[in-house]
């Protein structure tokens, strides 16, 4: 059973999500929070598998709450999907930097929301290559940033650096395999090892690292 915490300041929204999630045989809503502070407290008390987190809430907002939950060593298995009415790229970037595993707008189809919970619980990122490419295009329009001098890439092999760069370019495992002329299983292994070495939860955060360490520059995205 996948245990879910709902965090949204609108009671009717929470009720709708709860009815949908509880209708699934493999999902259970274990708690509801009306603001970020309550979400953090309930996450620590209930230890949910997945948190569906609204961004705009009174007091502590959803992004700040997500950061606190994901930084809590007592909640290593808790994953967060950001839910918002506002499908803005700036929120997606902030959510990924906070460590969220996915991002959905609230008008997502019911079946897609259920699948999102299952995908994130299974350890995958809820960030398709198409969305990744849109983020890259947005990143390209931003003022240039100095490369992060972080030494965290030093533990990667040359092939793993190459794979992280390809993930940052929005390629799926199958596309990476074709580019490197290896099997999809081998490509997936390289991605997984890179995540372990970099201490990230999923490939969504690999995209952030690829750009913030200048492994990737968004030259091609000018034509996107």
Residue pLDDT, tens place only, 50-86: 999 998 899 998 989 999 998 898 998 899 998 877 6
User: What is d(CA 94, CA 138) in angstroms, rounded to the nearest whole number?
Assistant: 13
In the predicted structure, residue 167 carries a pLDDT above the cut 90: no
Cα-based angle 218, 157, 193 (whole degrees, multiple of 5): 90
- Does the pTM exceed 0.85? no
- Mean pLDDT on 185-189: 93
- Mean pLDDT on 25-44: 96
User: What is d(CA 32, CA 52) in angstroms, rounded to the nearest whole number?
Assistant: 10
Q: Take residue 87 and report the two structure tokens written for it.
A: 């499908």
Do 29 and 21 form a contact (C-beta atoms < 8 A)?
yes
Residue pLDDT, tens place only, 5-20: 999 999 999 999 999 9
């Amino acid at each position: 059973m996948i245990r879910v915490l709902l965090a949204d300041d609108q009671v009717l929204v929470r009720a709708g999500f709860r009815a949908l999630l509880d209708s699934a045989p493999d999902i259970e809503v274990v708690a509801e929070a009306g603001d970020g502070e309550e979400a953090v407290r309930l996450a620590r008390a209930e230890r949910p598998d997945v948190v569906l987190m609204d961004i705009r809430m009174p007091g502590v907002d959803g992004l700040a709450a997500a950061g606190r939950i994901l930084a809590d060593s007592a909640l290593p298995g808790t994953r967060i999907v950001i839910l918002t009415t506002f499908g803005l790229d700036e929120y997606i970037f902030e959510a990924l930097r906070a460590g969220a595993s996915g991002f959905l707008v609230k008008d997502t189809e019911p079946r897609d929301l259920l699948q999102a919970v299952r995908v994130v619980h299974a350890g995958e990122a809820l960030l398709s290559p198409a969305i990744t490419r849109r983020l890259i295009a947005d990143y390209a329009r931003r003022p240039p940033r100095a490369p992060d001098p972080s030494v965290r890439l030093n533990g990667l092999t040359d092939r793993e650096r190459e794979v992280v760069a390809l993930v940052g370019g929005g390629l799926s495992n199958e596309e990476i395999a074709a580019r490197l002329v290896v099997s999809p299983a081998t490509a997936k292994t390289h991605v997984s090892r890179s995540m372990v070495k970099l201490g990230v939860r999923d490939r969504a955060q690999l995209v952030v690292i690829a750009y913030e360490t200048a492994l990737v520059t968004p030259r091609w995205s000018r034509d996107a």
